[in-house]
Structure 1
């Protein structure tokens, strides 16, 4: 077997630590992505009921145990006794081994940094920083720990407001205006605040792309020169920024992109602004020049200049939030890829398609707040805008091939809609936790759901106060694990918090009382009773569905749009009424074992009875002079099910269901028209 890189047999000068680290991180990311796609919880139990899936997973588990024992048997012969099926014990052993290895890495790094004059005792007295935290911040840059995390927002002149109050635009002057600057508060009919008006609402509503942007180019644009031979300026002084503003005054097409950071901030902040014009690239240090970047408004709001973005939904909001910068006149290459129906719509796909350029996306989630920026990250940032103007020109050619000539205008309209986006601060409500809970595959009982709601609120409060992301305070996996297991002591809670930052472990004294209080709550049944917090949301949806159904009933009677209060109620014919009643009776009197899907249809039909019950009672009570009393015995119910109107409705009406679920609403209306016509 080949020796791995970095063994004792390799010459010291040939060991490439960065290359080894990059490969390891790439493999780790791929493993995490693939593992997240595996079924969990109830889905896992369903898959495990199939023999082939169970055999495959058992074999993978055995191979993993054998390989793990082989890899660490040399350094940890006692702890490497992993056994198949003992998940908890294996996980604890693996965590211990990882912690030991990380401590060794820490010691070696400290020795390299401090020299051999320091003793092991002096090294051990220093705080140990998990290198993987640095990997999460810097992505694939380095494993070197950074124990002194600097918060750039401390030096911002504008105060960071993480409260639940509305965000107010920070723009102070309005260049290229049609209407003078005025920002007003918007409210709904109930007096609730909706936010502030868009400062460039009028300008965007009246925007029309210049004629030469809507027509074919007289001369094709030359392919951009290589990045290495293109003039580049790293802008980190006011003088350099002013020179950039002067260059933008002379340009007609401007490519723009932003690099953002949100892990060490609740709302996040822009770290870099990349700009490319003809044969020049600029990278602006947005942390250092944050309060001066409003100067970009002179060109960014000029309707005669085209600003080219890719996927600008977030960029537009970040420019408003951090610099008070707005965009008038934009072409979004992502929106163009949607109109052109490209299979690959990411920027790396467009670079490959139009420029034959392979881009390395390993720095996509890197920590852009670090200074000084490595040359590799600067090169990555430049590549995002270097080819963007050429790509927009090539996409314009494809859009102009539309025989109707509307594709290009459609992209401009979609881009203008994005420019109208307004930044809104993250708002916490009593039902905010439901969004995260509904996205998961978890099914919590009332105690677990109460703990999840309280921990979600506690995490949000802590993140706002410390100006950190909620993921930094407590990641989602730990949030779900604490809520699911409801630990009642510190030791159990610590096991649930494996992999968390030390800050969370220090806050266990605040978290444990929350969990213990939820353990003492009465356990509500989950099969027939839904917690009140979720019922409020479901009732709102149910009311909307009922309104839509009433409107559907009445629309066929009037054949015109009228207010719902003036419409006559829909009155089905006796034959249609008999078919509805018989279908319900058939399901109610069913007395045999039902498979899961049949049981689902059975309960669904019972719910339909609730919707139709009041309508049927109303009709029978108001028209007793013409209708005969309904028969309620089983024989008559079976006779009605097999009666001709129901069979005719089921066989001839394409809108009805073919799986025995009964006629749909549209099928009932069509059948009524047939009966009335006859």
Structure 2
């Protein structure tokens, strides 16, 4: 088929697919037109035919090797090139393994895109799924939903999990700036400085924050309007309704099981009059507009335990908080017996927080009413709690300027000044929150050198795969399964799958890669062991003095010389005593020497 007759796959994929299959059928029919056993006969009849046949075979083999290597790389396998027909016959199983790996990956991707999973697959792929039952009634079925299409596939900002590329801050417009955004730069390769560092450090608080006032009672939970915000128009309407408010309460719901860095699924925001629940999955690229209020020093932003929230706000939306009041710190300053939000809700509002949805999958849409009520309860009462805590801090302050409130605000500022940076994986030292050394310390698992090498290699593979697939490490390979692989060290795909029950999807897809990784790690440990048998011994440095005399006088140079001596295995020095060796040989010969011959008797002597 002429190249001009081949449809463009981008414009007409169906037509291109049909022409491809047609070409394959024609090629297969042509190849089968001559029986294999008669090739030799036809080759002998026509030398040019034999030459063309050899050339076509070499070309097909070359193309096959290129495709095989490319696909093997995608599957994480190492396959040797096929040099001739014997290689193809003997090692065709390697090509089958590569094809199986590609088909498994394709099947997984199609399931992810379509959101269609079989129940049995779901049980295998999500071993952490649990159920919550209360009073013999199932309140909510699954903490991790099996039919949710991954939201990050629709994010307009591409997810980049590479530790080699610094985090690129998302803020492009800086309201309430005392220092222009374009003037905040850095000379190194790390992420840019905190854009509101100066504003937070030099904030002038409203005077009302240091005046005792009557707490404003929250409105009844059931009669307060609940506003679901999932469109840009709804967001703009919400922002208009925020105008004039001096305090707002904020909380976030986060998901990190099916994502490497994690992402925010929900934002709860409450004023004295309204509760807003924002679908941050839909409005992820629009929420930067909230900096108009979040960065306003005249508006108090009330959060509880805001360490993670501050990081998530800037990582996902480019949002920064100026004038943060974290209600966690008053519980410490006032020496409360407990410091959780649930304790504050119970103490000040007589509200029992229902925490059974705390670990629920917040990617679910539409959200069940129970989960919506749980989410809004975290901010609905928070401004009243803020009033009560601030009054108590002022009443117990030892100075007129409310020193306890200022201590609380200072600690809150330290939280607000946190800056998000990606975790960098250090394969050598294993340091860092996601490093292998941290896990090794916690598990306290006794390992021999080979197992330790396998542990490091698998831990590194897991981190690399999680970054590449944008999954959490515990989804890719749970810790207990990693340790099972370390203990047994299987080198084939069936052994790998047998160690993981139920076997996670990415382990099943990459079972051959994992087996090869284990095999290489074991080999590296053996080679390292052999090298350790011949080590270098460092001799303490000795001082040498050199004097150089010239026409202008003498110059004395003193230096320390470090000597390195090869340490070899202990060898018996007697093996090199030639006299002793000669004596041993003579004694051995005398023992073996015969005085008489079986055939000739003693006539030889």
TM-score, normalised by the number of residues in structure 1 = 0.56
CA change 1:215–1:126 in 2 (3 A) is: closer
Secondary structure in structure 2 of the residue aligned to 1:230:
coil
The match for 1:225 is 219
Q: Tell me how far apart the structure 1 counterparts of residues 477 and 127 of structure 2 sit (CA, whole Å).
A: 18
| Mapped partners of 1:173, 1:457: distance in 2 | 38
Counterpart residue number, 1:244: 238
- How far apart are residue 414 of structure 1 and its match? 0.5
Pick one of 384, 393, 405 that aligns with 2:378. 384
Structural mapping, 1:185-224, within 5 Å: 185-186=185-186, 193-217=189-213, 219-222=214-217, 224=218
Alpha-carbon deviation of 1:157?
1.1
Q: 1:443 to 1:523 in 2, by over 3 A?
A: farther
Residue number in structure 2 paired with 1:32: none
Q: Do structure 1's residue 267 and structure 2's residue 261 form an aligned pair?
A: yes
For the residues of structure 1 that align with 2:366 and 2:287, how far apart are their CA atoms? 20
Q: CA RMSD in A?
A: 2.6
| Separation (CA, whole Å) in 2 of partners of 1:209 and 1:449 | 55
Q: Over residues 108-157 of structure 1, what are the superposed CA-to-partner deviations in whole Å (9 max), with x where a residue is unaligned?
A: xxxxxxxxxxxxxxxxx967334486684686431599654411111111
Show the counterpart of 2:360: 366
Shift of 1:374: 0.5
Deviations 1:470-496 (A, max 9, x none): 111111111122123323444443332
Q: Structure 1's 356 and 156: CA in aligned 2 closer, same or farther, altered over 3 A? A: same
Higher strand share: 2
CA contact (8 A) 1:254 1:308 kept: yes
- Cα displacement string for residues 146-186 of structure 1 (whole angstroms, at most 9, x for unaligned residues): 65441111111111111121001111111011111136554
Matches within 5 A, 1:95-494: 128-131=120-123, 136=128, 140=132, 141-142=140-141, 148-164=147-163, 165-182=165-182, 184-186=184-186, 193-217=189-213, 219-222=214-217, 224-400=218-394, 401-404=396-399, 405-430=402-427, 431=430, 432-494=435-497
Asked if the contact 2:129/2:142 (under 8 Å) is kept, the reply is no
Deviation at 1:441, TM superposition (A): 2.2
Equivalent runs, 1:491-530 vs 2, <5 Å: 491-522=494-525
CA displacement, residues 549-601 of structure 1 (integer Å, 9 cap, x when unaligned): xxxxxxxxxxxxxxxxxxxxxxxxxxxxxxxxxxxxxxxxxxxxxxxxxxxxx
Checking the alignment, whether the CA contact within 8 Å between 1:445 and 1:524 is kept in structure 2 is: no
Between 1 and 2, higher relative CO (CA 8 Å, sep ≥ 6) is seen in 2
Structure 1 residue 317: deviation in Å?
A: 1.0
TM-score (norm 2): 0.62
Secondary structure class of the residue paired with 2:181: coil
SS in 2 for 1:195: coil
* Aligned mates of 1:506, 1:365 — CA distance in 2: 28
The structural deviation recorded for 1:522 is 4.7
For residues 3-37 of structure 1, what are the alpha-carbon distances to aligned partners after superposition, in whole Å with 9 as ceiling and x for unaligned? xxxxxxxxxxxxxxxxxxxxxxxxxxxxxxxxxxx
Please state how far the C-alpha of 1:389 moved relative to its aligned partner. 0.6
CA distance in 2, matches of 1:126, 1:198: 46
In the TM superposition, what is the alpha-carbon distance from 1:438 to its structure 2 partner? 1.8
Q: Find the aligned partners of 1:460 and 1:522 in 2 and give their Cα distance.
A: 21
Q: 1:489 & 1:266 partners in 2: Cα distance?
A: 28
Unaligned runs of 5+ in 1: 1-124, 533-678
Distance 1:132 1:512 in 2: 20
Task: Please show how residues 627-642 of structure 1 align to structure 2 within 5 Å.
Answer: none
Q: Aligned pair in 2 of structure 1 residues 441, 208: CA closer, same or farther (>3 Å)?
A: farther
Question: What CA deviation, in whole Å up to 9, does each residue of 1:406-465 have, x standing for no partner?
Answer: 221111001011111111112212222212222222232322221111111111111111
Task: Say how many residue pairs are matched.
Answer: 398
Matched residue, 1:91: none
Q: CA 1:524–1:208 in structure 2 vs 1: closer, same or farther (change >3 Å)?
A: farther
- 1:2-81 matched pairs, under 5 angstroms: none
Cα distance in structure 1, aligned partners of 2:210 and 2:448: 58
Tell me how far apart the structure 2 counterparts of residues 135 and 351 of structure 1 sit (CA, whole Å): 34
Distance 1:160 1:137, change over 3 A: farther
CA distance in 2 between counterparts of 1:235 and 1:126 reads 32
Question: Deviation of residue 398 (structure 1)?
Answer: 2.1
State the distance in 1 between where 2:298 and 2:480 align.
49
SS in 2 for 1:129: helix
Change (3 A) 1:146 1:221: closer
- CA deviation digits over 1:326-376, x for unaligned, max 9? 100010011221222222111111111211111111111111011111111
More helix by share: 1
Structure 2 unmatched ranges of 5 or more: 1-116, 133-139, 536-605
Structure 2: distance between partners of 1:139 and 1:271: 21
